[in-house]
Amino acid sequence: MPLERRSWAEPFRIKMVESIRLTTRAQRERAIEEAGYNTFLLRSADVYIDLLTDSGTSAMSDRQWSAMMMGDEAYAGSASFYRFEEAVRRTYGYKQVIPTHQGRGAEHILSRCLIKEGDVIPGNMYFTTTRLHQELAGGRFTDVIIDEAHDPASPHPFKGNIDLDKLKRVLVENPRRVPYVCVGATVNMAGGQPISLENLRAVYALCQRYGVLVMLDATRIAENAYFIQQREAGQAGRKIAQIVLELCGCSDGCTMSAKKDPLANIGGFLAVNSKELADAACNLLVAYEGLQTYGGMAGRDMEAVAVGIDESVQDDHIRARVGQVEYLGEKLRGWGVPIVMPIGGHGIFLDARAFLPHVPQEQYPAQALAAAIYLDSGVRSMERGAVSAGRDPVTGEERMPKLELVRLTIPRRVYTQAHMDVTAESVYCVFEERKQIQGLRMTYEPKLLRFFQARFSECSV
């Protein structure tokens, strides 16, 4: 009998392993209470399967580890920097490469260089650190993503697309007040959703007409390119590397967290085409990050990033990476668990509003759900809803986003299919018992990026 479908497998085998520990329910009850119901405040030793983030949590390859031994730790003019610079230029195509310690370092420098008090920065949905740096520089972020992105159930294949009418309106209404448009590829907060090549081309053409720069957040651009290859008309036969290069060609520069797509544990960069902008950035760089040939990274970090960049745009790598995320998502969907559709590139996003309809958004349903999943199995996820959205800097009001999500984020090349099965089963068990989950109230609220350190207690306590 012919098989209905053939399986695919990861394009690697495992040569080093790291033990993880299964805890008891009583241990987890103690741990989550001590952590103030915030999964960011758990100790990793108390976590079984860690799906908090895909940031800096990837498994490096044998090629990356051996390249690290070649790290040149010279303070200035390190050979490792030149290998890093060459990898960035070859893969993304920008002329000027400015190293930073991680993505937010690049966001800080870019925001300080381009934004003046009162400026407006349109983007396809906010990201936490990106928006904060825009606000700290005196700017105001405005969302111009298509409406479908705010609807967890919409099946639109490119929910990261920019609504060109919304963007045009912002450009017309704010002459000389828009320094650049910030384009995420993919869009993290929407569920790892991609922007299409066609849409980015149109955004770039529109911005050129208005003399406004386009800056990519290229943190997960290889995943974005994979969705273009799979979903966009005329793109099926192209290599991921070619699509990545073309995406970057529709922009004037990018910020990058090398902790995601580029498979490194630390690192990042700002890359631009303008020499003038690069010079301005390097002026700030020496104050905040380090010299222009290391920017906060050790020589060995730059070696790991250089090799990781090459590996990140290999077709077989990215297919297995996104394929593993799809495997988990399809399993949950099959059991009727409400997740953001289509399945995104770096994780599964549970729709906490649909999951816990009895918990009002003021009681942080996504935060409560992440805690409940941890309690069930020791799987660590994170909140991406009202807690992450924070407060409006002008009015001080809490921002209540349409999307109230829990993210199960998959580190690259780290977990097996069995880990995905255990995770899916845990989420399903919590779903079955969902009526017992109650809301939370915040007992400690930090001023900036509150989701990292906020503390909560159960509403009934």
Residue 268 in the binding site for ligand F0G (CB under 6 A) = yes
Cβ-based neighbours of 81, under 8 Å, separated by 6 or more: 99, 293, 294, 299, 302
Interacting residue with ligand F0G among 36, 184, 344, 385 (CB under 6 A): 184
Q: How far apart are CA 331 and CA 340, in angstroms?
A: 13
38 binds ligand F0G, rule: CB under 6 A:
no
* Contact call for residue 188 and ligand F0G (CB under 6 A): yes
Q: Which is nearer to ligand F0G, 217 or 310 (CB)?
A: 217
Kindly tell me which of 268 and 308 has the beta carbon lying closer to ligand F0G.
268
How many Cα atoms are found within 13 Å in the side-chain-facing hemisphere of 247? 36
Task: Figure out which of the listed residues 80, 124, 257, 363 binds ligand F0G, where binding follows CB under 6 A.
Answer: 257
User: Minimum Å distance from CB 64 to ligand F0G?
Assistant: 17
Which residue among 64, 102, 124, 251 contacts ligand F0G (CB under 6 A)?
A: 102
Residue 57 in contact with ligand F0G, rule: CB under 6 A = no
134 binds ligand F0G (CB under 6 A): no
Three-state SS string over the chain comes to CCCCCCCCCCCCCCCCCCCCCCCCHHHHHHHHHHCCCCHHHCCHHHCCEECCCCCCCCCCCHHHHHHHCCCCCCCCCCHHHHHHHHHHHHHHCCCEEEEECCHHHHHHHHHHHHCCCCCEEEECCCCHHHHHHHHHCCCEEEECECHHHHCCCCCCCCCCCECHHHHHHHHHHCCCCCCEEEEECCECCCCCECCCHHHHHHHHHHHHHHCCEEEEECCCHHHHHHHHHHHCCCCCCCCHHHHHHHHHHCCCEEEEECCCCCCCCCCEEEEECCHHHHHHHHHHHHHHCCCCCCCCCCHHHHHHHHHHHHHHCCHHHHHHHHHHHHHHHHHHHHCCCCECCCCCCCEEEEEHHHHCCCCCHHHCHHHHHHHHHHHHHCEECEEECHHHHCECCCCCCECCCCCCEEEEECCCCCCCHHHHHHHHHHHHHHHHCHHHCCCEEEEECCCCCHHHCCEEEECCC
Q: Does 129 bind ligand F0G (CB under 6 A)?
A: yes
How many residues sit in the footprint of ligand F0G (CB under 6 A)? 15
Does 296 interact with ligand F0G (rule: CB under 6 A)?
Answer: no
Applying CB under 6 A, the span of 9-17, 90-98, 100-108, 333-341 interacting with ligand F0G comes to: 100-108
**Interface with ligand F0G by CB under 6 A: which range of 127-135, 229-237, 302-310, 353-361?**
127-135
Q: How far is the CB of 347 from ligand F0G (least distance, A)?
A: 9
State in angstroms the smallest separation of the CB of 248 from ligand F0G. Answer: 15
Site for ligand F0G contains 53 (CB under 6 A): yes
Q: Residues 123, 146: contact at Cβ < 8 Å? A: no
Q: Which is nearer to ligand F0G, 52 or 212 (CB)?
A: 52
Q: Would you count residue 103 as binding ligand F0G (CB under 6 A)? A: yes
Contact criterion met (CB below 8 Å) for 219 and 56: no
- What are the two backbone dihedrals, phi and then psi, of residue 415, each rounded to the nearest 5 degrees? -105, 160
Under the binding rule (CB under 6 A), the answer on residue 100 touching ligand F0G is no
Nearest to 295 by CA among 99, 110, 76: 99
CB-based closest residue to ligand F0G: 103
**Shortest CB 261 distance to ligand F0G, Å:** 10
Residue with smaller CB distance to ligand F0G, 294 or 431: 294
Phi first, then psi, for residue 351 (nearest 5°) are -85, 95
Q: Which residue among 38, 39, 55, 134 contacts ligand F0G (CB under 6 A)?
A: 55
Q: Report if residue 124 touches ligand F0G, rule: CB under 6 A.
A: no
193 near ligand F0G, rule: CB under 6 A: no
Residue closer to ligand F0G, measured from CB, 161 or 363: 161
Quick one: which of 58, 91, 196, 219 contacts ligand F0G (CB under 6 A)? 219
412 contributes a contact to ligand F0G by CB under 6 A: no
Count CB atoms within 10 A of the CB of residue 86: 13
Looking at 37-45, 123-131, 434-442, 448-456, which segment touches ligand F0G (CB under 6 A)?
Answer: 123-131
Nearest partner of 136 among 386, 389, 448, judged by Cα: 448
Which of 81, 127, 204, 456 lies at the binding interface for ligand F0G (CB under 6 A)?
127
Interface positions, 198-217, toward ligand F0G (CB under 6 A): 217
Q: Does 104 sit near ligand F0G (CB under 6 A)?
A: yes
- Residues labelled catalytic: 75, 127-128, 217, 260, 384, 451
Q: 36 vs 411, which CB is nearer to ligand F0G?
A: 411
Closest CB to ligand F0G among residues 72, 383: 383
Residue 130 is a binding residue for ligand F0G (CB under 6 A): yes
- Residues in contact with ligand F0G by the rule CB under 6 A: 53, 55, 102-104, 127, 129-130, 184, 188, 217, 219, 257, 259, 268
